[in-house]
Chains A and B, each alone.
Chain A
Amino acid sequence: MGAICALGNDVDALTKSLVEGTRGIKPLEHLDLGFPELHFGEVALSNAELVQELKALLGEEFALPLSRTALLALFAALSATREALDENNTVVISASTVGGMDLSERLFADWKAGEMTQARYAAEHPVGSHTSFVADAIGCKAMHTTISTACSSSANAMILGAQLLRTGRAKRVLAGGSDALCKFTIEGFKALSAMDTTGVTKPFSNERNGMNLGEAAAYLVMECEADALEAGRKPLAFFAGGANRNDAHHQTATSPEGNGPYLAMRDALEIAGLKPDEVDHINAHGTGTDNNDITELAAMERLFRKVPQYTTTKALTGHTLAAAGALEAVISIICMREGIVPVGHATSAAITGHTAMPVAQTIRRPLRNVLSNSFGFGGNDTAIVLMGS
Chain B
Amino acid sequence: MFIRGAISEDAEMGGSLALPPGADRRMAKIQRATCHSMYAALNKTGTTAIDAIFAATALGCLEDTECFLDEITGPSTSLRSPLPFMRSTHNTMAGQLALLLKVHGPNITYSQSLFGFHAVLLNALLHLEEEPSHTVAAFAADERTELATALVQTNIPGTVLGEGVASFILGGTAKTGDVARITRLEQRIITDVELEKIMEEEQIGSVFCSQWTADAEFPKLSSKTVVERYDPATGNHGAQTALALGKVVDRIASPSITGPCMILDQVGDRRGIIVVAPC
A interface vs B, CB < 8 Å? 97, 99, 104-105, 108-109, 111-112, 114, 116, 119-120, 122-123, 125-128, 131-132, 141-150, 156, 160, 163-164, 167, 169, 183-184, 187-192, 244-252, 259-260, 263, 376-380
Contacts and interface: CB of A to CB of B under 8 A. Distances in A.
A248 B69 contact: no
B239 to A, nearest CB: 13
Interface stretch (B4-12, B33-41, B94-102, B219-227): B94-102
Contact of B91 (A114, A160, A192, A378): A378
Nearest to A260: B104
B18 interface: no
A147 B92 CA distance: 13
A99 B60 CA distance: 11
Given A116-B150, A119-B155, A148-B111, A246 B98 contact: yes
B69 to A, nearest CB: 5
Given A184-B69, A245-B104, A248-B99, A377 B58 contact: no
A98 to B, nearest CB: 8
Given A119-B155, A123-B155, A263-B104, 13 more contacts: A105-B72, A111-B147, A126-B58, A141-B189, A145-B118, A145-B187, A148-B60, A246-B103, A246-B106, A250-B99, A376-B91, A377-B91, A378-B92
B80 A187 contact: yes
Contacts of B58: 126, 128
A120 B152 CA distance: 9
Contacts of A259: 104
Given A183-B72, A187-B80, A145 B104 contact: no
Nearest to B83: A191
A142 B188 contact: yes
Given A111-B147, A116-B154, A378 B59 contact: no
B66 to A, nearest CB: 8
20 contacts: A112-B147, A116-B151, A122-B152, A126-B111, A127-B90, A127-B111, A156-B108, A184-B69, A187-B72, A189-B85, A190-B80, A244-B108, A248-B98, A260-B104, A377-B86, A378-B92, A378-B96, A378-B107, A379-B95, A380-B95
B69 A108 contact: yes
Contacts of B150: 111, 114, 116, 119
A166 to B, nearest CB: 9
Contacts of B80: 187, 190-191
Interface of B: 53, 57-60, 68-73, 80-82, 85-92, 94-96, 98-99, 101-113, 115-116, 118-119, 122-123, 126, 129, 147, 150-152, 154-155, 187-189
A131 B102 CA distance: 32
Contacts of B155: 119-120, 122-123
B202 to A, nearest CB: 17
A251 B86 contact: yes
Do most interface residues of chain A lie in helix, strand or loop, or is the interface mixed?
mixed
Contacts of B122: 143, 169
A147 B123 CA distance: 11
Contacts of B89: 97, 148, 150, 377-378
A112 B95 CA distance: 30
A377 B69 CA distance: 19
B9 to A, nearest CB: 24
A251 B60 CA distance: 15
B111 A191 contact: no
Given A116-B150, A251-B86, A147 B107 contact: no
Contacts of A131: 112
A147 B154 contact: no
A380 to B, nearest CB: 6
B98 A148 contact: no
Contacts of A143: 119, 122, 187-188
B104 A248 contact: yes
B69 A380 contact: no
A325 to B, nearest CB: 13
A143 B115 CA distance: 9
Contacts of B154: 116, 119
B68 A187 contact: yes
A116 B147 CA distance: 10
Given A126-B113, A378-B89, A141 B188 contact: yes
Most buried by B among A144, A156, A163, A251: A251
Nearest to A377: B89
Given A111-B151, A143-B188, A252-B86, A246 B110 contact: no
B188 A163 contact: no
